[in-house]
A and B are shown apart, each in its own frame.
Chain A
């Protein structure tokens, strides 16, 4: 399964969500599918995309927040599972693209390549809904189920370690940050 195909497949559903991604391949690929003002790409601070999603989810309970995380990033902040589970924002969908690799820095294998199971970690931390998917149809179904379920969900999507040719895009970090913030503030109740 290719991450790019997954992103393309759910791109229409993301129009009405608030989206936070990690750096590197996911950010570049989502932009290549189509940037929107409700998308924020955290182009560093590995591990904090889910924390950012949690902060938004608690601040905007009427919105659906989707976080696109990665195995390398979430392994740097496993405590995020216990913090998310503790507050259980029902409007937060946490998607982890697991390519078992630190692709953006040369493809070194992560611990998920030797058996670490992120969905089981999420479940054991108390995330009420978890799923593991390995094909695009299953991915779309899991995302749609999570949107309907309206409960905190972690979806681990097993994808190939293939990414875009380059990671730097035309969208500058601060332009994205201020556009996103301005958009979110129109959503306040």
Chain B
């Protein structure tokens, strides 16, 4: 499976470096290595979800308790979480660090991903959620650190879009 191990490792190491101790996730092809890394790490609490919106509540609970967390999801999982993001994270000023695999954009071969790809960035903008498209492995550590810092200082969700260029090698 040509999912980039190097980029996955860079992302995971960056999450660890900024103190992330809990990760919620729902499996998706581009996230397989990241989820495996969280699973193999005894210092990390990995919560495998039934639906991504649960992750908003779990991250909020962890934040209340002083534990930094991150959410791993596909952009369709972001779409499935929108009520939770609006009526919990935005309403109650909850910092969410959302790592979203950006399916359905340039180079997408799976027809079923294509509509979600079109609406991901417009929806992030409509919600006022700051985001950055991660395209190179080299940019991962600094951008994840910056995203976590902005999320923590603003007490609001911040998103990193994991692009095909970053996650897929073929």
Contact = CB atoms under 8 A, between A and B. Distances in A.
A184 interface: yes
Given A79-B50, A83-B49, A86-B48, A185 B65 contact: yes
Contacts of A45: 56-57, 83-84, 87-88, 91
A40 interface: yes
Interface residues of A, number: 36
A60 interface: yes
A180 B69 CA distance: 18
Interface string A54-71: 111111100000000000
Nearest to A180: B64
A184 B65 contact: yes
Contacts of A49: 57
A59 B65 contact: yes
A182 B47 CA distance: 24
Contacts of A59: 22, 45, 61-62, 65-67
A181 interface: yes
Most chain A C-beta atoms within 10 Å of own C-beta, residue among B51, B56, B60? B60
Interface string B126-138: 0000000000000
B101 to A, nearest CB: 20
A48 B88 contact: yes
A77 interface: yes
A79 B51 contact: yes
Interface in B47-84: 47-51, 53-67, 69, 83-84
Contacts of A77: 51, 53-54
B54 to A, nearest CB: 4
Interface of B: 22, 45, 47-51, 53-67, 69, 83-84, 87-88, 91-93
13 contacts: A42-B57, A51-B61, A53-B61, A54-B47, A54-B61, A55-B60, A55-B65, A56-B64, A58-B47, A58-B61, A82-B50, A83-B50, A87-B47
